[in-house]
C-alpha cells in the first residue's frame, strides 16, 4: 500500500472553523478537506434538511415531462416504465411505477433481459411496447445515447421521457423530455443524482401539481438511498440529504421488499455500507442470475408474506451468484498462475463457460488481487464478451480506444467498461492491451493507495471525537470515512490471527506511556502478525463495536508497517 497524507488545509481556516464549532482542529481540518469551511456549511452538512431539497422544476424539460404524463393520464394511455437490470435501474422502475399506480391504473414495467437485450433501451422492448399498445415509455437510468432507438419508437407513435444520469453525447435523443442534470444546457443545481434520484425528482414534480410536499415522498427514499449506495455516486449535496433520510426509512419503515431482505439477515440497524454489501447484491443478483423483473416484483410487493417469498427466491439467486463468483475467480487465478502471467501490467483471461452475469464481479476480484487493469472474457453467442475494471487514476476507456482494431464494440468510462470481439481476435487483443498498458501506466499506480486525512495520537480518540466522526455519515464517494495514521503503537501481547482461514489480524493496541488499549481488527492482514512484536505504524478508520452488550470504539486497520 502507498500511504498518502492529504494536504493540510490553510491553518487560519481550520482554527476559525474549530473555534466556531467548538471542536478539535483535527476534525475541523477533515471538514475543510471536504470543502466545509463555515459554520453555515457545517450546519447543512451535520443536519441534513429536507428544506434543502431542490425544486424539481429547475431541471431542464421537467415541465414537459410532467405535461406529457398528465396528458397520458387524461387520455387513458398505457404507460410503460422501463429501466436497466441493475440496482439503480430496478429501484428507479419500482419507485416511479409505485407512485404512478397511486394516481393511475394503466401502468406496466419493463426490465430488459441482460442476455437477450443487453444494457439500456432495446428494439425488443420498443416492439413489446408497440405490440401491447403503450404510447409512452418513461426510461430510467438509461437512454441518453439511444438516438436511433428513440427515433424508431417515434415512427411507431411511441413517445419517450428519458431520466438518465450518464454523461450525454454530442447529440441528445429526440424525446418529449430528457431529464439529465449532466446536460450542458441544464441548470439544475446538483448534477450527481443517480437514475433513481432523477426518477424521484420526476414523481416529486408530479406530486407538486397534486398539492403534495416533500414529506409525502419520504416513504420512497428507501429506494433512493439503496440506489445511491449501490451506484457509487458522490454522497454530497442533495444525495447526502436523500441518503440520510432514506437510511432512516430503511431502519424504521422500509417497504415490504427491503423489510423482507432485512428480515432474512436479521440485522438491527443498517448503515450505508450494509446497504452496499447486503441489500444491493441481493437486488442485483436477480438480473445477474435470472431476470431483473424479480427485483421489481420484490420492491413493489404490497403484501409482506409474498415479499418474504420473493426475498427467499432472490436469496437463492444471490447464493448461486456467490458460488459462481468464487468458482470463476478461482479458475481465473489458476489460469494466471499456469500461464505465468503474475508479473504482467494487465490481466486478460477467458473461458467460454464463465457466467456472463458475474464476470464484472470477477474482474473486480482479480483487480483486488493483482491491482492492475483487468478484463474477464466469456463466450456470448458467436462473439466473446468482457467486463473490464481499472485501478485508480488509470483511464481504461482510453486504453481500449487504442485497441479498437481488434474490438467489435465497447462502452463504459474511465474505471469500468464492457466490450465484445470476435474469437479470432482475442490473442491479438490481449497482446495489444498489455502493450498499451505497459507503455502508458505510471508504475506507482500498480500499488494501491490509501489516502490519509490526518496523523493523530490514540489519546485523541475520545467519545466526543468519535461521536463527531459518526455524525459525518452516511459515508461514500467524496465523503469517505476519515482515515488516520498513528505512529509508534504496540500490541499488548494478545495479538493473534483470526477467521476460519486465519487471514485476519486481531490486536489490542496502545501508544507510549498511555496504557489505554484499543481493540483493532485488520481484515486480510493476518500475514503481518510478525510485524507486531515491536513498535509499528498503523493506518485505520474508526467503527463502533458491540460485544455482549458492551459498546466500544474499534480501529479498522487498513495497513501497518
Do 492 and 551 belong together in one domain?
A: yes
Do 131 and 262 belong together in one domain?
A: yes
47 occurs within a structural domain: no
Domain end (from 431, 446, 461): 446
Do 307 and 378 belong together in one domain?
A: no
CB atoms within 10 A of CB 336: 17
Domain end (from 446, 478, 508): 446
What's residue 18's pLDDT? 97
Q: Which helix (H) or strand (E) holds 388?
A: strand 383-389
348 beta partners:
375
pLDDT tens sequence across 214-240: 999 999 999 999 999 998 899 999 999
Per-residue pLDDT for 393 more than 90? Answer: yes
8 occurs within a structural domain: no
Do 253 and 166 belong together in one domain?
A: yes
452 beta partners:
5
Question: How far is 126 from 504, CA to CA, in rounded Å?
Answer: 51
What's residue 267's pLDDT? 77
Per-residue pLDDT for 266 more than 80? Answer: no
Reported confidence tier of residue 547, pLDDT bands at 50, 70, 90? confident
Task: With both helix axes pointing from N to C terminus, report the angle between 221-230 and 87-103 in degrees, rounded to the nearest 10.
Answer: 160
Q: Which helix (H) or strand (E) holds 136?
A: strand 134-140
233 occurs within a structural domain: yes
Per the structure, the complete domain to which residue 505 belongs is given by: 450-561
Say whether the peptide bond before residue 474 is cis (omega within 30 degrees of 0): yes
CATH number at residue 390: 3.10.310.30
What's residue 269's pLDDT? 86
What's residue 513's pLDDT? 86
Q: Give the residue among 147, 3, 67 at the shortest CA–CA distance from 447.
A: 3
Q: Are 161 and 175 in contact (CB under 8 A)?
A: yes
Reported confidence tier of residue 514, pLDDT bands at 50, 70, 90? confident
3 occurs within a structural domain: no
Which whole number is the average pLDDT over 474-501?
Answer: 94
How confident is the prediction for the chain on average, in pLDDT?
95
Do 102 and 188 belong together in one domain?
A: yes
Backbone angles phi, psi at 383, to 5 degrees: -115, 175
Backbone angles phi, psi at 505, to 5 degrees: -125, 125
Do 416 and 442 belong together in one domain?
A: yes
Question: How far is 126 from 173, CA to CA, in rounded Å?
Answer: 15
Q: How many helices (H) and strands (E) does the chain have?
A: 19, 19
Which whole number is the average pLDDT over 549-553?
Answer: 86
The residue with greater pLDDT, 265 or 471, is 471
Reported confidence tier of residue 335, pLDDT bands at 50, 70, 90? very high
128 occurs within a structural domain: yes
Could you write out the DSSP letters of every residue in 268-286? SS--HHHIIIIIHHHHHHH
Question: How far is 434 from 419, CA to CA, in rounded Å?
Answer: 16
Backbone angles phi, psi at 524, to 5 degrees: 80, 5
CA distances from 259 to 253, 272, 274, 296, 460 (A): 8, 16, 14, 14, 39
pTM above 0.85, yes or no: yes
Do 434 and 480 belong together in one domain?
A: no
What's residue 342's pLDDT? 93
Do 158 and 266 belong together in one domain?
A: yes
CATH number at residue 525: 2.40.50.460
**Angle, CA of 549, 551 and 555, to the nearest 5°:** 140
Task: With both helix axes pointing from N to C terminus, report the angle between 293-300 and 280-289 in degrees, rounded to the nearest 10.
Answer: 140
Strands 550-560 and 536-547: antiparallel
24 occurs within a structural domain: no
What's residue 102's pLDDT? 97
Do 503 and 439 belong together in one domain?
A: no
| Exposed / middle / buried, residue 7 (Cβ in 10 Å: 0-12, 13-18, 19+) | exposed
CATH number at residue 180: 3.90.1640.30
Per-residue pLDDT for 98 more than 90? Answer: yes
Q: Which residues lie closer than 8 Å to 379 by C-beta, 6 or more apart? A: 352, 353, 385, 423
Residue 118: half-sphere exposure toward Cβ, Cα within 13 Å: 14
What's residue 415's pLDDT? 87
Domain end (from 430, 446, 462): 446
136 beta partners:
79, 159
The three-state secondary structure class of 255 is coil
Q: Are 524 and 503 in contact (CB under 8 A)?
A: yes
pLDDT tens sequence across 134-158: 999 999 999 998 999 999 999 999 9
Which whole number is the average pLDDT over 415-444?
Answer: 95
556 beta partners:
521, 541
Do 421 and 516 belong together in one domain?
A: no
Question: How far is 270 from 254, CA to CA, in rounded Å?
Answer: 11
412 occurs within a structural domain: yes
Per-residue pLDDT for 118 more than 90? Answer: no
Q: How many domains does the chain have?
A: 3
Per-residue pLDDT for 413 more than 80? Answer: no
**Angle, CA of 540, 494 and 515, to the nearest 5°:** 70
Do 136 and 151 belong together in one domain?
A: yes
19 occurs within a structural domain: no
Do 139 and 196 belong together in one domain?
A: yes
Amino acid at each position: 500500500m502507498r500511504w498518502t497524507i492529504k494536504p493540510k488545509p490553510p491553518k487560519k481556516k481550520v482554527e476559525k472553523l474549530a473555534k466556531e464549532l467548538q471542536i478539535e482542529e483535527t476534525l475541523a481540518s477533515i471538514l475543510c478537506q471536504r470543502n466545509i469551511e463555515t459554520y453555515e456549511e457545517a450546519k447543512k452538512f451535520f443536519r441534513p434538511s429536507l428544506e434543502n431539497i431542490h425544486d424539481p422544476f429547475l431541471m431542464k424539460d421537467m415541465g414537459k415531462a410532467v405535461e406529457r404524463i398528465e396528458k397520458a393520464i387524461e387520455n387513458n394511455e398505457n404507460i410503460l416504465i422501463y429501466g436497466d437490470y441493475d440496482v439503480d435501474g430496478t429501484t428507479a422502475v419500482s419507485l416511479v411505477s409505485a407512485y404512478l399506480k397511486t394516481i393511475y391504473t394503466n401502468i406496466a414495467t419493463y426490465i430488459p433481459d441482460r442476455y437477450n437485450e443487453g444494457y439500456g433501451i432495446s428494439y425488443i422492448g420498443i416492439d413489446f411496447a408497440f405490440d401491447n399498445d403503450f404510447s409512452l415509455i418513461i426510461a430510467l437510468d438509461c437512454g441518453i445515447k439511444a438516438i436511433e432507438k428513440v427515433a424508431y419508437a417515434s415512427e411507431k407513435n411511441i413517445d419517450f421521457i428519458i431520466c438518465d444520469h450518464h454523461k450525454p453525447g454530442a447529440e441528445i435523443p429526440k424525446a418529449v423530455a430528457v431529464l439529465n442534470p449532466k446536460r450542458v444546457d441544464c441548470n439544475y443545481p446538483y448534477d450527481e443524482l443517480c437514475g433513481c434520484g432523477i426518477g424521484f425528482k420526476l414523481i416529486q414534480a408530479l406530486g407538486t401539481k397534486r398539492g403534495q410536499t416533500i414529506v409525502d415522498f419520504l416513504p420512497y427514499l428507501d429506494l433512493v438511498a439503496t440506489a445511491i449506495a449501490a451506484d457509487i455516486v458522490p454522497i454530497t449535496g442533495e444525495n447526502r440529504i436523500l441518503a440520510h433520510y432514506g437510511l432512516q426509512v430503511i431502519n424504521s419503515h422500509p417497504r415490504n421488499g427491503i423489510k423482507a431482505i432485512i428480515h432474512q439477515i436479521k440485522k438491527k440497524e443498517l448503515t450505508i455500507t450494509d446497504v452496499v454489501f447486503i441489500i444491493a447484491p441481493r437486488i442485483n443478483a436477480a438480473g445477474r442470475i435470472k431476470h431483473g423483473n424479480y427485483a421489481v416484483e420484490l420492491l413493489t410487493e404490497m403484501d409482506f408474506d409474498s415479499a418474504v417469498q420473493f426475498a427467499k427466491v432472490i436469496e437463492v439467486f444471490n447464493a448461486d451468484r456467490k458460488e459462481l463468483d468464487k468458482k470463476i475467480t478461482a479458475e481465473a487465478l489458476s489460469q494466471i498462475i499456469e500461464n505465468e502471467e503474475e508479473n504482467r501490467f494487465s490481466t486478460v483471461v477467458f473461458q467460454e463457460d464463465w457466467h456472463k452475469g458475474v464476470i464484472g464481479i470477477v474482474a473486480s476480484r482479480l483487480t483486488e488481487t493483482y491491482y492492475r487493469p483487468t478484463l474477464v472474457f466469456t463466450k456470448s453467442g458467436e462473439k466473446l464478451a468482457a467486463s473490464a475494471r481499472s485501478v485508480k487514476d488509470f483511464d481504461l476507456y482510453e486504453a481500449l480506444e487504442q485497441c479498437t482494431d481488434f474490438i467489435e464494440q465497447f462502452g463504459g468510462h474511465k474505471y469500468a467498461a464492457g466490450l465484445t470481439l470476435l474469437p479470432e481476435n482475442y490473442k491479438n487483443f490481449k497482446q495489444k492491451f498489455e502493450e498499451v498498458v505497459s507503455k502508458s501506466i505510471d508504475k506507482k499506480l500498480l500499488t494501491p493507495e490509501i489516502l490519509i486525512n490526518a496523523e493523530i495520537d490514540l489519546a485523541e480518540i475520545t467519545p466526543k471525537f468519535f461521536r463527531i466522526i459518526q455524525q459525518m455519515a452516511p459515508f461514500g464517494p467524496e465523503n469517505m470515512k476519515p482515515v488516520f495514521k498513528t505512529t509508534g503503537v504496540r500490541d499488548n501481547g494478545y495479538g493473534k490471527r483470526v477467521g476460519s482461514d486465519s487471514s485476519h489480524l486481531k490486536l489490542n493496541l496502545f501508544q507510549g506511556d498511555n496504557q489505554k488499549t484499543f481493540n483493532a481488527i485488520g481484515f486480510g492482514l493476518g500475514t503481518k502478525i510478525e510485524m507486531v512484536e515491536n513498535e509499528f505504524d498503523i493506518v485505520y478508520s474508526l467503527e463502533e463495536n458491540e460485544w455482549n452488550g458492551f459498546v466500544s470504539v474499534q480501529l479498522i486497520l487498513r495497513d501497518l508497517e
